[in-house]
Chain A
Amino acid sequence: MRRAAGLLLALAALTLPLWIANAYFLHVVIMAGIFGVLASSLNLLLGYTGQLSLGHAAFFGIGAYASALLTLRWEWSFWLALPAAVLAAGIAGWAIGRLALKLRGAYFVLVTISFAGVIALISINWMDLTNGPLGLPGVPAPELGPWSLRTKSAYYYLVLAAVALAYEVCRRLVDSRIGRAFVALRENEALAESVGVDGTRYLVLAAVVSAGLAGLAGSLYAHYTRFVSPEVFLFTYTVTMVIMVVAGGKGTLAGPLVGAVLFTVLPEALRAATSWQWQMLAYGLILVVLVFFLPRGIVPTFFR
């Protein structure tokens, strides 16, 4: 039954551009995919290790800027810039993990926010590298041999592959010894350490993988919108990710993806009815309501 549902879902995902011809709908789906990767990456930290990073937009932004700069300034191919962006974000994740994961709870959150704040200020002020608030226009679309992945349906498959990759990376990690160590650390750190789990090492590993996946999403975003500006560091992105993870279900593999689809489609659907400010107001209220009435999230509540 589950298997059949999974196959059906995969089939639907693979043929989606065939039955969604509308470019706007496809755009929404692509953005949902990019946010799916982002939410999955945040979920590794928030859901499995229990550490809330409110600086995740920084890794997303680092990935986006790395990819954009490498293809624009040094004319790298997208296929080299993408892994380089993942690597750059991963290294940033490692550095921050090594520094900040000495701390827990609110203090960890504050260091991640501050880190993202400093990175955002650098992106605004380092004119020579980042072109400041004006951003970097004209980021090239990826090319695959003779084809340019400029069309929405081609880009859809690229994003789909990234979502599958992120899902698979998370699944393998979570199902392994490492994943069990994450959960053990989340549930009771002192106990986990007493049976030989090296807390800091595992948490830094989670931070590196999580940051790398966020960098992947950043690179995909940069080459899709073909424009990168300091706005990629906006706190709104981080908040959106947190809501997606909390709404979908922390510590489940499908939760962040469900949350990502829901909170990309919902605002778009509401866009006609309401203005952007009402949307953000609704986001805040939804977060409060979710914590009160659906604390475990959609997937664990309805699908188990």
Chain B
Amino acid sequence: MDQLLQHLVNGLVLGGTYALLGIGLTLIFGLMNVVNFAHGEFYTLGAYATFAALTLADLNFFAALGLAIVCGLVVGAVTEFVLVRPLRRESIDTVMLVMIGVWIAMQNSELLVWGGVAKSIPHPFSTTPLTLGGVSLAPLRLFVLVAALGLIVGAHLLIHRTRLGRAMRATFQDADTAALMGVRIRRIYTATFAIGSGLAAAAGALLGPIFIAYPSMGDLASLKAFSVVILGGLGNIAGATVGGLVLGVAEELGAGYVSSGYRDAVGFVIIIAVLLLRPSGLIARAERVG
């Protein structure tokens, strides 16, 4: 029983960051119809930006996290402006090929800059775990869970309580009508891509110190983000939140009770099973933003 609780807690910590990845991707995928295979690279970017800010610039840990998110926002906005915007009228496959190109290029630039050796990201938290009942949790993991939940709530508020969020929801429902009503949809697209990338960078910055940073870490992150989106339904933020937590817990349980070698297979199996059995997502009633 204690072991089960422990797995659940660990799964929630992972799941919170998966949810961040998933929300970012579901916005980009749902709103812009861009299959962003480079999404995981923004996750990697977040981890390396944190590492650079801590070791090269000697920044405070929390400032480094903030800087990583800003990095994700800026690089995301630039990517959208330079590469996605000119292809607005092209087919979804064309844009997908470009994003595959971006993925490979970003990953190998990271390999060139940082080398193939994994970096461990320092953090100021004590390594003595907090224990409650039979469950122990490192303070860092607790912080990651809380920060991830905070960012998720932030994303919800952004979508539901701000002008930008309302414009984003309108664009998702019907881009042409939104444009007629005076929504500057090109700006909305740039903002959406930037926010999505920023959330991915936040996930990388948070998980980086728990694990390690290495150039190809984004590959699995992309696939996990896609499985979260598929679980939750396209463009569905609440769905992505639940989907992320479900994936995190499912992975922990799979690794704990089945075989740790197949931990990463959980996401793949979820993608295959959900797409074949319930293509609109497990949680989604309809495809929508919000």
Given A117-B265, A291-B98, do A103 and B259 touch, yes or no (CB 8 Å)?
A: no
Minimum CB–CB distance for A20 against chain B, Å: 31
Give the segment of B52-60, B134-142, B187-195, B271-279 that binds chain A: B271-279
Residues of A within 8 A of B279 (CB): 103, 107
Partner of B101, one of A50, A114, A117, A285: A285
Given A105-B92, A281-B108, A281-B109, do A111 and B271 touch, yes or no (CB 8 Å)?
A: yes
Residues of B within 8 A of A242 (CB): 97, 100
- Asked if A191 CB lies within 8 Å of chain B CBs, one says no
Chain A: CB-nearest residue to B38: A284
- Complex: A50 Cα to B104 Cα, angstroms: 22
- Asked if B96 CB lies within 8 Å of chain A CBs, one says yes
Partner of B265, one of A118, A277, A281: A118
Residues of A within 8 A of B275 (CB): 100, 103, 107, 110-111
- Complex: A144 Cα to B3 Cα, angstroms: 59
Number of A-B contacts (CB under 8 A): 113
Residues of A within 8 A of B261 (CB): 121, 124-125
Residue-by-residue, is A248-262 near B (CB-CB < 8 Å gives 1, otherwise 0)? 000000000000000
- Asked if A157 CB lies within 8 Å of chain B CBs, one says no
Residues of B within 8 A of A178 (CB): none
Minimum CB–CB distance for B135 against chain A, Å: 29
- Asked if A28 CB lies within 8 Å of chain B CBs, one says no
Residue-by-residue, is B105-119 near A (CB-CB < 8 Å gives 1, otherwise 0)? 111110110000000
- Complex: A284 Cα to B103 Cα, angstroms: 7
Contact residues of A: prevailing secondary structure: helix
Residue-by-residue, is A265-282 near B (CB-CB < 8 Å gives 1, otherwise 0)? 000000000000110110
Contact between chains at A281 and B105 (CB < 8 Å): yes
Contact between chains at B104 and A287 (CB < 8 Å): yes
Chain A: CB-nearest residue to B260: A125
Chain B: CB-nearest residue to A51: B93
Contact between chains at A235 and B106 (CB < 8 Å): no
Given A114-B271, A118-B268, A125-B262, do A99 and B276 touch, yes or no (CB 8 Å)?
A: yes
- Asked if B269 CB lies within 8 Å of chain A CBs, one says yes
- Complex: A295 Cα to B90 Cα, angstroms: 11
- Complex: A284 Cα to B41 Cα, angstroms: 13
Minimum CB–CB distance for A46 against chain B, Å: 9
- Complex: A133 Cα to B132 Cα, angstroms: 39
- Asked if A113 CB lies within 8 Å of chain B CBs, one says yes
Residue-by-residue, is A87-123 near B (CB-CB < 8 Å gives 1, otherwise 0)? 0000000000001101101110111011101100100
- Complex: A277 Cα to B115 Cα, angstroms: 10
Within 8 A of A (CB), among B55-105: 83, 86-87, 92-94, 96-98, 100-105
- Asked if A13 CB lies within 8 Å of chain B CBs, one says no
- Asked if A283 CB lies within 8 Å of chain B CBs, one says yes
- Asked if B18 CB lies within 8 Å of chain A CBs, one says no
- Complex: A291 Cα to B108 Cα, angstroms: 20
Contact between chains at A288 and B101 (CB < 8 Å): yes
Residues of B within 8 A of A102 (CB): 276
- Asked if A72 CB lies within 8 Å of chain B CBs, one says no
Residues of B within 8 A of A288 (CB): 83, 98, 101-102, 105
Minimum CB–CB distance for B215 against chain A, Å: 9
Contact between chains at A283 and B265 (CB < 8 Å): no
Contact between chains at A285 and B105 (CB < 8 Å): yes
Contact between chains at B219 and A110 (CB < 8 Å): no
- Asked if A149 CB lies within 8 Å of chain B CBs, one says no
Contact between chains at B268 and A114 (CB < 8 Å): yes
Within 8 A of A (CB), among B221-256: 223, 226-227, 230
Of residues A246, A281, A283, which shows the largest number of chain B Cβ atoms within 10 Å of its Cβ? A281
- Complex: A278 Cα to B109 Cα, angstroms: 8
- Asked if B287 CB lies within 8 Å of chain A CBs, one says no
Residues of A within 8 A of B97 (CB): 242, 246, 287, 291
Within 8 A of B (CB), among A212-247: 235, 239, 242, 246
Contact between chains at A111 and B272 (CB < 8 Å): yes
- Asked if A207 CB lies within 8 Å of chain B CBs, one says no
Which residues of B are at the interface with A, using a C-beta cutoff of 8 A? Answer: 29, 35, 83, 86-87, 92-94, 96-98, 100-109, 111-112, 219, 223, 226-227, 230, 259, 261-262, 264-265, 267-269, 271-272, 275-276, 279
- 5 more contacts with CB within 8 A, not counting A118-B265, A283-B104, are A107-B279, A110-B275, A121-B264, A287-B98, A288-B105
Q: Can you pick out 29 interface pairs between chain A and chain B where the beta carbons lie within 8 Å of each other? A: A100-B275, A102-B276, A106-B35, A107-B275, A110-B226, A110-B271, A110-B275, A111-B271, A114-B223, A114-B267, A114-B269, A115-B272, A118-B268, A121-B262, A121-B268, A242-B97, A242-B100, A246-B97, A280-B104, A280-B111, A283-B101, A284-B102, A285-B105, A286-B101, A288-B83, A288-B98, A288-B105, A291-B97, A292-B98
Which residues of A are at the interface with B, using a C-beta cutoff of 8 A? Answer: 50, 52, 99-100, 102-103, 105-107, 109-111, 113-115, 117-118, 121, 124-125, 235, 239, 242, 246, 277-278, 280-281, 283-288, 291-292, 295
